[in-house]
Amino acid sequence: MLLDGLDAPSDAPDELDAGAVLDPLAASSSPLDEGLLERFALPFSPRLSVQPRPYQRDALRNWLANNGRGVVVLPTGAGKTVVAFMALEQVPVRTLVVVPTIDLLRQWRAGLVSKAGVPEDEVGVVGGGERTPRALTVMTYDSAAMPRRDLSAFGLLIVDEVHHLPAPTYRAIATRAAAPWRLGLSATPERADGAHLELSELVGPEVYRRLPADLAREGHIAGYREKRIFVDLSPEERYRYDALMAEFKWFVATRRSQLMRGSFFEQLIQRSAVDPAARRALRAHHQARLIALNAEGKIAQVEALLHQHREAKAIVFSEYTAMVSTLSRRLGLPAITYRTEPDERRQILDRFRGGHYSKLVTGRVLNEGVDVPDANVAIVVSGSSATREYIQRLGRVLRPKPREAVLYEIISRGTSEGRAARARRPRAA
């Protein structure tokens, strides 16, 4: 049974305005191919057990109107997986769900049973040591990309964190799959290498997008504010930072004409393979960046913010494991890094979820692919210039809640870190 307003056949438009809402009375989905539905039919009927939000319905309408192909872009915490469960209900065919991590594999398996109405014994898993394919299978990227993996039996391909798919290692998943229906999900599909443009061919064009600010204004996710806090480098840090940046800038100034033939840093990295001066310049730049990102003044600022929000649940993010360890040791915070064993990580997150812990410090490992308990405050001690990272961290405090959420960015004054902070913010936010 199709969603209200989606069961009347019509011709799909050549192009969709991503984010536009299709009027169900004026433009409903293209008719589903009965032959393909029969060819790939599931042996059971999924039934959604949650009430979709309006924007999730709109996303599904746009996807169906584009012949069941395309990418849906929603913020972390806005319920991208519910759109996938809705798609499965509307197109009840043998389905492959591809995910990047073992944590997501487990989350999808649980969600398909609890929210999509799939019988538990009908959900197969391939990855993380499990090999139980079923008519509906959740599989890691690495498992799906194996050269001899047969993906021809699936009619619907759902790709979570779809920005990974254009990578050379993974694009074969899309090319080997026979699925006529394809759905990609991501909070930030854009890639630095521009390969996200290939998603149109691999999965389909972007058919729907909403920004965090849009959904917050409409009350679907928490209202939030963002605040930058600047701290000064210590005299010793300032001296070292300025000396290192002077070394880097002198090299750039003397080689500028040789480094303007493409991407500046790519040219510099290539040159460093044969030029000792280029290697020293890169090393100086890296060391200066470390000083800015890990400034001593940031620790005191984190402590002050945690005291200010002592009643709130807060997650502190740092770019580098060394700073995570320092914050954990000096402020007495439970910490999760890529080195944390899976059982210990689950225990920490369970205690955070249950209220035993109210504060947590972590690195990149919680950016993506981990079911992080809800928090009210995010503190970014340091980060890259990637918009994806920023959206992912913001999403950790944006799940629906009555209280306003807040994201702090702590930036070393008078360093290149300020430019990185500006670069990572979404332009339309």
How large is the average pLDDT for residues 347-357? Answer: 88
pLDDT of residue 193: 82
Neighbour count for residue 135 (Cβ, 10 Å): 20
How large is the average pLDDT for residues 114-139? Answer: 91
Question: In order of start, what are the domains of the chain with their CATH numbers?
Answer: 34-210 (3.40.50.300), 224-233+295-424 (3.40.50.300), 238-293 (no CATH)
Q: Which two tokens stand for residue 362?
A: 């972590």
Letter for the amino acid at 124? G
Q: Is 5's pLDDT higher than 60?
A: no
Burial (0-12, 13-18, 19+ Cβ within 10 Å), 41: middle
* 8 Å CB contact between 30 and 67: yes
To the nearest whole number, what is the mean pLDDT of the chain? Answer: 82
- Cα separation, 61 vs 22, in Å, equals 7
Neighbour count for residue 68 (Cβ, 10 Å): 26
Neighbour count for residue 356 (Cβ, 10 Å): 11
pLDDT in tens, 262-287: 566 677 777 777 788 888 988 999 89
- Cα separation, 390 vs 129, in Å, equals 32
- Cα separation, 10 vs 31, in Å, equals 7
Q: Is 202's pLDDT higher than 90?
A: yes
- Which residue is it, tokens 């509906």? 136
* 8 Å CB contact between 207 and 63: yes
pLDDT in tens, 288-345: 989 998 999 999 999 999 999 988 889 898 888 889 999 999 999 999 888 888 889 8
Q: Is 256's pLDDT higher than 70?
A: no
- Cα separation, 271 vs 79, in Å, equals 45
What's the start-to-end Cα distance of the chain, in Å? Answer: 37
Letter for the amino acid at 159? V
pLDDT of residue 11: 33
- Which residue is it, tokens 């969709």? 16
pLDDT of residue 301: 95
How large is the average pLDDT for residues 336-357? Answer: 87
pLDDT in tens, 17-65: 444 433 332 334 456 788 888 899 999 999 999 999 999 999 999 999 9
pLDDT in tens, 174-190: 999 999 999 999 988 88
